[in-house]
């Protein structure tokens, strides 16, 4: 690489870009870990983007009409930290960079959205950023359609690497963006031909240009070190009516002895290598010091968007007060005040009418009353719309000619759907929920974990949540999935028993600001067990006494979802034999765990035999069966200890012994 030629051709650009490179080298060396090569290679693209195109104001990181920048190749985190420092984000003084990858620093190994302003999403697991970006761009389209260009009119920029493009989820994202002609989405592919194992060619020879074109993208190929080419390509991309991919041929770890090698992908920490590289760059300032002139040019870039922001604020102030209030509310992720009364009215109605319906249908009943009062909800399904019951009458379908549509046909793309929902939630102004079969949480899992880690209140509507789905068989029958979700930190897992509990679960899910929710819903009909109307949201307690023992309390049955009905029937059998039996419905373990000891003890007092019934694996139930702090309790479990089978649902419940009779027998065997 003829670095001198690059420098001479565009000296000012060179200096600014190289500030990113040396900060990266310095921070990685200080941490003695990290990834140097990518920020070094993509510094030119990032510099042109941030100094000439990105609409942002470092002084107002949360400006809602800013362009979004997503580093999908998250291991190159020093790229974004350098940019945030250089452009003058308050939260990124040089000390943060010196503390790269240290406990408590905002400069984590991979960018974490919850640690600092200016980091739009958490990346690192590859492919997530590009898939998030589809949600960002969709949210922008939807909000622009609803509130007009004067409020929402911005781009989403992404830097993706070879790893992002090899992950399958990228195909789901590419397909979605192409299908919906998300023209304000612009992806830079860091085409450096290197991965950890060696040359990309070792594992992939896909013609990425042809691949993106196949899905309807506008594609350009440029030298990723030529600032003029970069500038022109971004301008052209902005003018396209399709999503844009700019293939940037770059040299990873440019200018170092590790350039164009897999070594360059990782942490360059050898002092001599670093010194030599600085020399090649013609950079003489000490570590972590940026010459004043260069720093001020960067800070100027950081202020470049101020004018646009002022203009926007003026425009925004001309929006009606009601609309301003609504926009503030939805961007803050606050539920409308009306929500609780609407939920309460539905609860009252269904406890009286006591319908026998599948809880997926219950969920639809809730959405029918919620969607009209929450313009920010956006629903969808991974090609199971009729089964997931996520589409209500008034939503309209999001499409090229209907950007105001609030229902998304995601296609058979559970992973892309979940990642795009994360993007929508991160963008703000949209509260996404979508569905698939519970068993296919497997496909969505990497993005679902990120909802939790990123503290995004996405709602997953997972129907067909047990062997109760019947004939489709074990590939479609979750047995371990509810346990898996419960094992995940910061995730509310609801398994409601009937329409009342489903309404309560939805109310909680829709008022979350930092926590995703999963609704585990049945395919099969279940009885209404909450026939007495209570204003109070009982699901909010996590677990509660649904029916108490008559006479001496000898047994406590714990159950969730479709098995609450079974527990109630078992109680009837036991009470008929004079065995006083309490039934505890446990729709949300996480919320129950958050209760005071006293509440938990009131619901699950020591002494009686405890039997849990759930059409899933036992994993986790021992927490409740043996009593907290190991208090003695004779205990048993009725559920699954294997995969399911293909047969009608009733046959399977009988076959696997999940019946009222089996529960009653288990209790009696323990007494």
Site for a copy of itself in 172-191 (CB under 8 A): 172, 174-176, 178-179
Distance CA 388, CA 605 (A): 37
> With binding defined as CB under 8 A, does residue 241 bind a copy of itself?
no
CB 642, min distance to a copy of itself, A: 5
Shortest Cβ distance from residue 630 to a copy of itself (Å)? Answer: 4
Q: Among 5, 210, 576, 598, which residue sits at the site for a copy of itself (rule: CB under 8 A)?
A: 210
Residue 446 and residue 430 in contact, taking contact as beta carbons nearer than 8 Å: no
657 touching a copy of itself, by CB under 8 A: no
Other beta carbons within 10 Å of 572: 14
CB of 127 to a copy of itself, least distance (A): 8
Element (H, E) at 638: strand 635-638
Min dist CB 207 to a copy of itself, Å, is 4
Residues in 280-299 that interact with a copy of itself by CB under 8 A: none
Residue listed under structure tokens 């995601």: 410
601, 602, 603, 609 alpha-carbon torsion, rounded to 10°: 70
Percent helix, strand and coil across the chain, each to the nearest 5: 45, 15, 40
Residue 163 assigned to a binding site: yes
* Residue (14 or 653) nearer to a copy of itself, CB: 653
Among 321, 386, 532, 535, contact with a copy of itself (rule: CB under 8 A): 386
The answer on whether 464 is annotated among ligand-binding residues is: yes
Q: For a copy of itself, which residue of 11, 198, 239, 291 counts as binding (CB under 8 A)?
A: 198
Shortest distance (Å) from residue 42 CB to a copy of itself: 18
According to CB under 8 A, which residues from 606 to 625 bind a copy of itself? 610, 617-620, 622-623, 625
Residue 414 annotated to the active site: yes
User: In whole angstroms, what is the distance from residue 148 CA to residue 390 CA?
Assistant: 27
Q: Which stretch binds a copy of itself (CB under 8 A): 12-20, 40-48, 339-347, 471-479?
A: 471-479
Contacts of 312 (CB under 8 A, 6+ apart): 63, 65, 150, 151
Interface residue with a copy of itself, options 8, 206, 341, 513 (CB under 8 A): 206
Cα 132 to Cα 122: distance, rounded to the nearest angstrom: 10
Q: For strand 218-223 and strand 357-358, is the pairing parallel, antiparallel, or unpaired?
A: unpaired
Residue 524 contacts a copy of itself per CB under 8 A: no
Site pattern 332..371 for a copy of itself (x: CB under 8 A): ----------------------------------------
Backbone angles phi, psi at 634, to 5 degrees: -75, 130
User: 322 vs 629, which CB is nearer to a copy of itself?
Assistant: 629
Within positions 488 to 507, which residues make up the interface with a copy of itself, using CB under 8 A? Answer: 488-490
Q: Which of residues 390-429 bind a copy of itself (CB under 8 A)?
A: 409-413, 415-416
Give DSSP secondary structure letters for 28-54. HHHHT-S--HHHHHHHHHHHHIIIII-
User: Does 242 engage in binding with a copy of itself (CB under 8 A)?
Assistant: no
Q: How far apart, in Å, are the Cα atoms of 584 and each of 477, 524, 567, 600?
A: 25, 21, 9, 11
Binder among 197, 300, 577, 661 for a copy of itself (CB under 8 A): 197
Segment near a copy of itself (CB under 8 A); pick from 54-62, 184-192, 442-450, 520-528: 442-450
Do the Cβ atoms of 487 and 617 come closer than 8 Å? no
- The smaller minimum CB distance to a copy of itself, of residues 311 and 400, is found at 400
Q: Is 125 annotated as a binding residue?
A: yes
Long-range contacts of 8-13 (CB under 8 A, 24+ apart): 10/227, 10/228, 12/297, 13/44, 13/47, 13/48, 13/227
Binding-site size for a copy of itself (CB under 8 A) equals 118
Q: Whose Cβ is closer to a copy of itself: residue 178's or residue 432's?
A: 178
Instruction: Spot the catalytic one: 414, 504, 507, 563.
Output: 414
Is 75 one of the annotated binding-site residues?
yes
Least spacing, CB of residue 654 vs a copy of itself, in Å = 9
> Does residue 124 have a known ligand-binding role?
yes
Distance between first and last Cα of the chain: 80
Indicate the burial class of 626 (C-beta count within 10 angstroms; 0-12, 13-18, 19 or more): middle
Contact flag: residue 605 with a copy of itself (CB under 8 A): no
- CA–CA gap between residue 669 and residue 667 (Å, rounded): 5
Of 120 and 167, which CB lies nearer to a copy of itself in the complex structure?
A: 167
Pairing of strands 377-381, 553-559: unpaired
Question: Which three-class secondary structure state does DSSP give residue 151?
Answer: coil
Helices (H), 428-498: 441-453, 481-487
Is position 34 an interface residue for a copy of itself (rule: CB under 8 A)?
A: yes
Residue 634 found at the interface with a copy of itself (CB under 8 A): yes
Question: Shortest gap between Cβ of 300 and a copy of itself (angstroms)?
Answer: 31
Site for a copy of itself in 92-151 (CB under 8 A): 101-105, 108-110, 112, 122-127
> CB of 388: closest distance to a copy of itself in angstroms?
10
- Burial label, 315 (beta-carbon count in 10 A; 0-12, 13-18, 19+): middle
Contacts of 651 (CB under 8 A, 6+ apart): none
Choose the binding region for a copy of itself from 18-26, 297-305, 346-354, 485-493 (rule: CB under 8 A): 485-493
User: What is the spatial distance between Cα 472 and Cα 45, in angstroms, rounded to a whole number?
Assistant: 50
DSSP one-letter string for 528-544: ----S--SS-GGGGSSE
Residues 50-89 that bind a copy of itself (CB under 8 A): 74
- From 480, 569, 595, 657, residue interacting with a copy of itself (rule: CB under 8 A): 480
Q: Decide if 460 contacts 490 (C-beta within 8 A).
A: no
- What's the length of the chain? 671
Q: Is 597 in the site for a copy of itself (CB under 8 A)?
A: no
Least spacing, CB of residue 221 vs a copy of itself, in Å: 14
Supply 227's token pair: 């600032």
Q: Which residues are annotated as a binding site for Mg(2+)?
A: 162, 192, 194
Active site residues: 414
Q: Which residues are annotated as a binding site?
A: 35, 75, 124-126, 162-163, 192, 194, 265, 360, 387, 440, 464, 472, 476, 523
Q: Which residues are annotated as a binding site for thiamine diphosphate?
A: 75, 124-126, 163, 192, 265, 440
Q: Which residues are annotated as a binding site for substrate?
A: 35, 265, 360, 387, 464, 472, 476, 523
């Amino acid at each position: 690489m003829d670095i001198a030629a690059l420098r001479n051709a565009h000296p000012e650009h060179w200096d600014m870009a190289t500030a990113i490179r040396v900060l990266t080298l310095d921070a990685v060396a200080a941490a003695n870990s990290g990834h140097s090569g990518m920020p070094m290679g993509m510094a030119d693209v990032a510099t042109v983007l941030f100094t000439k195109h990105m609409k942002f104001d470092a002084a107002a990181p949360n400006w809602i009409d800013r362009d979004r920048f997503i580093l999908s190749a998250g291991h190159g985190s020093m790229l974004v930290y350098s940019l945030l420092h250089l452009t003058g984000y308050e939260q990124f003084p040089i000390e943060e960079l010196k503390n790269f990858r240290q406990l408590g620093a905002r400069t984590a190994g991979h960018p974490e959205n919850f640690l600092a302003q200016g980091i739009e999403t958490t990346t690192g697991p590859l492919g997530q950023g590009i898939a998030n970006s589809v949600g960002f761009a969709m949210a922008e389209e939807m909000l622009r359609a609803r509130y007009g260009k004067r409020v929402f009119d911005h781009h989403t920029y992404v830097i993706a690497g070879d790893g992002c493009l090899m992950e399958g989820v990228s195909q789901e994202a590419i397909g979605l963006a192409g299908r919906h002609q998300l023209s304000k989405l612009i992806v830079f592919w860091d085409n450096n031909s290197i991965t950890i194992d060696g040359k990309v060619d070792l594992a992939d020879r896909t013609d990425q240009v042809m691949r993106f074109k196949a899905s309807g993208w506008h594609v350009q190929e440029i030298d990723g070190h030529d600032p003029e080419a970069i500038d022109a390509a971004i301008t052209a991309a902005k003018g396209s009516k399709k999503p844009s991919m700019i293939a940037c041929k770059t040299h990873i770890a440019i200018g170092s002895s590790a350039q164009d090698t897999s070594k360059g992908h990782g942490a360059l920490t050898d002092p001599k290598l670093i010194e030599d590289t600085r020399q090649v760059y013609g950079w003489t300032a000490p570590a972590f010091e940026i010459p004043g002139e260069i720093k001020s040019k960067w800070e100027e870039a950081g202020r470049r968007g101020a004018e646009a922001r002022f203009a926007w604020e003026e425009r925004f102030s001309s929006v009606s007060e009601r609309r301003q209030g609504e926009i503030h509310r939805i961007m803050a992720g606050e539920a409308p005040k009306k929500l609780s009364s609407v939920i309460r009215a539905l609860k009252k109605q269904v406890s009286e009418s006591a319908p026998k319906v599948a809880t997926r249908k219950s969920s639809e009943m809730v959405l029918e009353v919620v969607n009209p009062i929450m313009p920010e909800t956006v629903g969808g399904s991974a090609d199971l719309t009729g089964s997931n019951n996520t589409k209500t009458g008034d939503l309209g379908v999001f499409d090229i000619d209907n950007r105001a549509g609030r229902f998304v046909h995601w296609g058979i793309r559970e992973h892309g759907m979940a990642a795009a929902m994360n993007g929508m939630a991160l963008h703000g102004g949209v509260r996404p929920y979508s569905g698939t079969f519970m068993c296919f949480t497997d496909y969505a899992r990497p993005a679902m974990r990120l909802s939790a880690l990123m503290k995004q209140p996405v709602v997953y509507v997972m129907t067909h949540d047990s062997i109760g789905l019947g004939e489709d068989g074990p590939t479609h029958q979750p047995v371990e999935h509810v346990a898996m979700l419960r094992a995940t930190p910061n995730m509310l897992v609801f398994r409601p028993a009937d329409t009342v509990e489903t309404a309560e679960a939805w109310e909680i899910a829709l008022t979350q600001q930092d926590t995703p929710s999963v609704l585990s819903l049945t395919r099969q009909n279940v009885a209404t067990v909450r026939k007495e109307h209570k204003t109070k949201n009982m699901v909010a307690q996590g677990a509660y006494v649904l029916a108490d023992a008559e006479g001496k309390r000898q047994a406590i049955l714990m159950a969730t979802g479709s098995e609450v009905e079974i527990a109630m029937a078992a109680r009837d059998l036991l009470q008929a034999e004079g065995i006083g039996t309490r039934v505890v419905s446990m729709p949300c373990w996480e919320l129950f765990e958050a209760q005071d000891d006293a509440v938990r003890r009131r619901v699950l007092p020591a002494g009686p035999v405890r039997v849990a019934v759930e059409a899933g694996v036992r994993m986790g139930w021992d927490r409740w069966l043996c009593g907290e702090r190991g208090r003695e309790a004779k205990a048993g479990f009725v559920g699954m200890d294997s995969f399911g089978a293909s047969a009608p649902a009733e046959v399977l419940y009988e076959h696997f012994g999940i019946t009222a009779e089996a529960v009653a027998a288990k209790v009696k065997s323990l007494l």
